[in-house]
Structure 1
Amino acid sequence: RYGQVKRMMQELMEQRSQLLSGTLPKDQLLRLRKEVTGKMDYGNKILALDLVVRDEDENILDPDRTSVISLFRAHRRAAQTLTQRIQEETSSQQRAPGHGTHGAASPSHNLYLCVRNFVCHIGEEAQLFMALYDPGEQRIISENYVIRWASTGVPQDIELLNNLKVVFTDLGSTDLQRERLFLVCQIIRVGRMDLRDSHSRKLSTGLRRPFGISGGAGL
């Protein structure tokens, strides 16, 4: 059970970083939220904790504003979904080769990344989200490494100049066997709604807007 909960926590931390990135479209965001809340409910179940009842948008229902009948129906739907998932997990484990035997733990690999410089004319502050991307599965398989870049063309924390380093950890053998693996960088501009805004009464600041994306060579 410990290994199962640990694996789920690692997956939840990865998905949490994707939710906080602010770069997902609405449909993918809702799908990811459903996946995250499903894992949380499953984890609560195997730890013998309470089942949290949510609405269609995965928001926790307020018992003071929701009728008893609606709460009961939502709880029944959540319990049925959770029971179905547990049955699927159990059947998949039983079908897995070597089930019931204690094999050797799969080796873990790390990937070291050092960012020397970032050259892009933005004109405002920016946030860089770097992660590993599998084009075959069309999804990010690692957490985001976030760099906050100043409008002057250097890191906001000047002490990190020429010292932007990160290690992507816990890459398994299956990750190394992927056909292709790319390092992608999502660029988020932080500032005005429109760079052409100059009138003081129209000026808005602190807004996060997608600016661009780049990809490194296959790893």
Structure 2
Amino acid sequence: MLARQSLSRFRVYRPLAARTLGVPHVQRRTKVTGRVAQVAGTAGNVLLIGSIVTMFGYIAYTLYDNLLAENGVTRVYNESLDLVRASPDIRSIFGSSIRGFGEPTHGQRQRQRAIAHREYMDNGQKRLALQYNVEASRDPQGVRGVVRVDMGEAKKLGTWDFNSIVVDVYRDNKVQKTVDVLVTNEYKRESQKSEKEQRNRMFAPRGNADGSWFGILRTDNWRK
């Protein structure tokens, strides 16, 4: 009995390793894990917000580029279609109610097809070429028009103007006539110059040293 009482007066100390590796160590590990999870969650939120901002920025740019910009495809399409509809020659062919659409298809969503277009440079000038189709809203009767639009940017002013709006009228997939809705004098000169250069290249002297086209008829110029 006395021995038990004497032993109870002494405190029992745990080793140092046992004290430091106990509950406080688990708490520190839990705090580190929580911080890592918090950082990961914050980074994920930043990436999500950045993706949303980028997406809305792209949508805003696309809407501006198509609807508000002077050379926006949708804007050019609408403005040129209004000029086509107002042309007396076009109205005499298709009537007063004319609809425009993209590439022709056999489906019911042909008006939702994208408008064919391309941007290019010509003698240092930015140009835009557009092509779409028109037909009578009621009973087309196999008559369809292919509208070809050309625009150019003024170098000094930075504005875009129509160079030409030409409609090729097809009946049963054959060209019946061509209607010039709008053609500037400058564009006419460019077209005439281009056609002249093309004809010159077609009939350029070849096949003979003296520059005669008929030199190709000489047998010594034939390939052996």
Q: Same fold (TM over 0.5)?
A: no
TM-score of the aligned structures, taking structure 1 as reference length? 0.23
Higher relative contact order (CA 8 A, sep 6+): 1
TM-score of the aligned structures, taking structure 2 as reference length? 0.23
* Higher share of residues assigned helix: 2
